[in-house]
Amino acid sequence: MTTRGSNTFYIHTFGCQMNQADSAIITALLQQAGYTPAESEESAGIILLNTCAVRENAVDRIENYLQHFQGLKKRAKGLVVGVAGCIPQYQREEMFSISPAIDFLAGPDTYRTLPSLIEQSRTGGKPTSLEFNSAETYEGIDPVRQGDISAFVPVMRGCNNMCAYCVVPFTRGRERSHPFSAVMGEVEKLVASGYREITLIGQNVNSYHDPEQGMNFASLLDLVSRTAPEARIRFTTSHPKDISEALVRTIADRPNICHHIHLPVQSGSTKIVGRMNRGYTIEEYREKIAMIRSIIPGVALSTDIIAGFCGEQEEDHQATLKLLSDIRFDLAYMFFYSTRPGTLAARTLEDDVPEAVKKQRLQEIIDLQNSISAELFQQSIGSVVEVLAESESKRSTGQLMGRTAGNRAVVFDREGYQPGDLVKVLISAATSATLTGRPE
């Protein structure tokens, strides 16, 4: 029989940075209620999966975990397993039929109820807390983060865009901005604790709006960068239709805001982005990129692509390849389309691209983008880049891993440097995903 402290908890986090930020909030809420973080899953009396529903394989992954927990529960009496986040919000009570190991369910707006859900599970119930609460921003909760170098600061929750493929409006509800004073309060605390990198996050950060202070995202970003002048400032995700010249000028003007913009285009075909309800044409997207590059020369750009969306024909796919060749993104996150029940596409469009074709197109997209990333990365051999060291490299304690302002991963010889240091690194080799070098 495994020994598990009944008041200790362990969280597995899946999905986006917002989920990582939510796990820091959950940790704070559970600690306030008298629970303590366990050293490992093996010693925890409470295990939480903080889940993501955005793509199909995300659901499959948690099923494997749940199977494992079912075995554990036979050996560890009193072990409580909860599923939180986007999957239960979306699948609701149906979740319980996936696995008998699940004791309770909580959605992204109900984390304040977690202590009571745990208590109710211990008395034999199968409680759920899945209400939307569009007023909830977890104001007043001081997140307990992993690590002390880089921090995510949510500035908004939820999303009001109805992209046809996307489950987020159904898992995270209506968009709401965090009060300006709460964001700034958190940034001040991070500065006092010596954080070196602050990433402002939201499903669509450009829609940030604090009506009381009249703040938009450009003015918020500007003030954050002035309040944390020693830290690198990043932000994600921006929606192409809303990215403003004022925001781009703020990024160009403030020395500590990283020259990197993640701008998901999803497809290179105007017909397909129209069906996706993205609110721009590919011409308009190209114009935005031209505007950004003219104001921030050398800016690093990254994107998201979905292959095989409803109605995508070979010519649309070719348009995506053409867009990637023309723009030459530093990096892209690439997926094939999977229907998410309840979304606009699931209700109104036919998922008519055969799976084999989706996968074939995705592979072509990945191959092209990898060769572009490799070429761009190769070009930096011989140059000196500034790297924020984040951790020891996975392969060797004699090397550190970090990122450039443009968000490229760099592995370099340690030579006495520590995680948290800003190091000028001379690049000597590159793959399509990593640069390697040594301190200048």
Contact with ligand SF4 (CB under 6 A): which of 24, 25, 53, 164? 53
Long-range contacts at 31-40 (CB < 8 A, ≥ 24 apart)? 31/144, 33/114, 33/115, 34/7, 34/115, 35/7, 35/8, 35/9, 35/115, 35/118, 36/5, 36/7, 36/8, 36/9, 37/8, 37/9, 37/10, 37/144, 38/4, 38/5, 38/8, 38/9, 38/10, 40/10
d(CA 186, CA 177): 14
- At 232 the three-state DSSP class reads strand
110 binds ligand SF4 (CB under 6 A): no
172 lies in the binding site for ligand SF4 (CB under 6 A) = yes
Residue 18 interacts with ligand SF4 (CB under 6 A)?
yes
Residue among 165, 180, 280, 377 that touches ligand 5AD (CB under 6 A): 165
Give whichever of 149 and 362 is closer to ligand 5AD, judged by the CB atom: 362
Q: Does 171 bind ligand SF4 (CB under 6 A)?
A: yes
User: How far from 345 is each of 22, 264, 306, 426, 438, CA to CA, in Å?
Assistant: 28, 18, 13, 48, 49
* Member of 166, 220, 228, 258 binding ligand 5AD (CB under 6 A): 166
Measured from the CB of residue 119, what is the shortest distance to ligand 5AD in angstroms? 35
Residue 364 touches which member of ligand 5AD, ligand SF4, none, C-beta under 5-8 Å by kind: none
For residues 152 and 201, the answer to whether their CB atoms sit within 8 Å is yes
Q: Note whether 340 binds ligand 5AD by CB under 6 A.
A: yes
Nearer Cβ to ligand SF4 (163/385): 163
Q: Does 95 bind ligand SF4 (CB under 6 A)?
A: no
Q: Which long-range contacts (CB under 8 A, 24 or more apart) does 325-328 make?
A: 325/368, 325/372, 326/286, 327/286, 327/289, 327/301, 327/303, 328/372, 328/376
Strand 232-236 versus strand 156-157 pairing type: unpaired
Among 38, 54, 190, 276, binds ligand 5AD (CB under 6 A): 54
For residues 258 to 287, the per-residue mask of contacts with ligand 5AD, x marking binding by CB under 6 A and - elsewhere, is ------x-x---------------------
Q: Are 272 and 281 in contact (CB under 8 A)?
A: no
Name the strand (E) or helix (H) holding 273.
helix 270-275
Cβ 55 to ligand SF4, closest distance in Å? 8
Name which of 149 and 159 has its Cβ closer to ligand 5AD. Answer: 159
Q: Which is nearer to ligand SF4, 11 or 327 (CB)?
A: 11
| Neighbour-count burial for 251-261, b at 16+ CB within 10 Å, e otherwise | bbebebbbbbb
Contact call for residue 167 and ligand SF4 (CB under 6 A): yes
Rounded least distance, CB 91 to ligand SF4, Å: 12
Per CB under 6 A, 337 contacts ligand 5AD: yes
Number of chain positions touching ligand SF4 (CB under 6 A): 13
Q: Segment contacting ligand 5AD (CB under 6 A): 111-119, 212-220, 330-338, 400-408? A: 330-338
SS3 401: strand
338 binding ligand 5AD? (CB under 6 A): yes
CB of 5 to ligand SF4, least distance (A): 28
Q: Which of 201, 287, 240, 217 has its CA nearest to residue 18?
A: 201
The residue among 186, 280, 270 whose CA lies nearest residue 238 is 280
Q: How far is the CB of 20 from ligand 5AD (least distance, A)?
A: 14
Minimum distance from CB of 426 to ligand 5AD (Å)? 34
Helix, strand and coil in the chain, % to nearest 5: 40, 25, 35
Alpha-carbon distance of 356 to 345, in angstroms, equals 20
Contact status: 304 vs ligand 5AD (CB under 6 A): yes
Could you tell me which stretch among 29-37, 180-188, 333-341, 383-391 binds ligand 5AD (CB under 6 A)? 333-341
Residue 266 binding: pick among ligand 5AD, ligand SF4, none (C-beta 5-8 Å cut-off by kind): ligand 5AD
170 forms part of the interface with ligand 5AD (CB under 6 A): no
- Helix (H) / strand (E) element for 379: namely helix 355-379
52 binds ligand 5AD (CB under 6 A): no
Strand partners, 216: 209
Strand partners, 209: 216
Closer residue to ligand SF4, CB minimum distance, 66 or 299:
66
> Given the complex with ligand 5AD, which of 334 and 387 has the nearer CB atom?
334
Nearest to 266 by CA among 213, 356, 192, 332: 332
| Total binding residues toward ligand 5AD, as defined by CB under 6 A | 12
Compute the distance between CA of residue 77 and CA of residue 80 in angstroms, rounded to an integer: 9
Interface residues with ligand 5AD (CB under 6 A) are 54-55, 165-166, 264, 266, 304, 306, 335, 337-338, 340
Interface residues with ligand SF4 (CB under 6 A) are 15-16, 18-19, 52-54, 85-86, 167-168, 171-172
